């Protein structure tokens, strides 16, 4: 799971007019009357309809929870490299696009932007870079791209439902869009517990293996 630090990539990742839109109009969610997120889900490639899941509803729930809870995590901005640069005025509205792709499509993106010629489960493409969002308009967060075959295979290998793994990857991808990372132990110590807390609100167990001490 990796975030790609490239501003404005959404124009390259989102699909043309023949995409299948799973939400019409895009779903929106309001949490506590404060944080509002518009979620747009499109199918670029892959037989996503083969899996008996409501991808739009899952995406809306997972991303809205991540957006709302992460914005309330004020401690995040105090740690260098964790949390976006919104200071004491976090954005109240946001927009994110979920691109449902297949392994071949994600492999091409992974090769182009990370020089890794293999598919991966999720890629995040922030749209605003280091720009500070304005309260006057929704914050264009960026795109989260998932690879169908990898998502399904990993879920089965890990003994999880595809829906739970899909939701976890979206939460992970959203935190990357919001500026969180896990490249260092300090960053991971902030990001991973936040993931776990968000997933708990969705009824999803801690996805990270626990190590016994002693």
pLDDT single digits (tens) 156-177: 999 999 999 999 999 999 998 8
Q: In sequence order, what are the residues at sequence separation of 6 or more whose Cβ sits closer than 8 angstroms to the Cβ of residue 153?
A: none
Mean predicted confidence (pLDDT) in 63-90? 64
Residue 172 labelled as part of a binding site: yes
Nearest-angstrom CA–CA distance, 56 and 65: 14
Which tokens go with 133?
């969002």
CB-based contact 11:44 (threshold 8 Å): no
CB-based contact 96:177 (threshold 8 Å): yes
Reported as a pLDDT band with limits 50, 70 and 90, residue 209 is: confident
* Domain ranges across the chain: 2-201
Q: Cα–chain-centroid distance for residue 149?
A: 18
Architecture of domain 2-201: 3-Layer(aba) Sandwich (3.40)
Burial of 87 (0-12, 13-18, 19+ CB in 10 A): exposed
- Residue 83 reports pLDDT greater than 50: no
- Residue 120 reports pLDDT greater than 60: yes
Residue from 92, 86, 39, 88 nearest 68 by CA: 92
pLDDT for the residue 68: 86
Secondary structure letter of residue 28 according to DSSP: E
């Amino acid at each position: 799971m990796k975030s790609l630090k490239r501003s404005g990539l959404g124009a390259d990742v989102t699909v043309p007019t023949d995409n299948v839109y799973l939400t019409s109009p895009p779903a929106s969610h309001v949490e506590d009357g404060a944080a509002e997120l518009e979620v747009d889900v499109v199918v670029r490639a892959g037989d996503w309809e083969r899996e008996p899941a409501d991808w739009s509803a899952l995406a809306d729930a997972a991303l809205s929870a991540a957006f709302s809870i992460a914005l309330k995590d004020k401690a995040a901005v105090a740690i260098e490299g964790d949390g976006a640069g919104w200071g004491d005025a976090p954005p109240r509205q946001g927009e994110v696009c979920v691109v449902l792709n297949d392994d071949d499509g994600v492999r091409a993106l992974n090769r182009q932007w990370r020089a890794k010629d293999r598919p991966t489960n999720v890629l995040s493409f922030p749209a605003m870079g280091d720009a500070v969002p304005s309260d006057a308009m929704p914050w264009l967060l960026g795109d989260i791209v998932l690879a169908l075959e990898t998502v399904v295979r990993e879920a089965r290998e890990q003994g999880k439902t595809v829906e739970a793994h899909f939701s976890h990857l979206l939460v992970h991808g959203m935190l990357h869009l919001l500026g969180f990372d896990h490249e260092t132990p300090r960053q991971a110590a902030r990001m991973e517990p936040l993931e776990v807390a968000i997933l708990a609100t969705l009824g999803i167990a801690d996805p990270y293996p626990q190590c016994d001490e002693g």
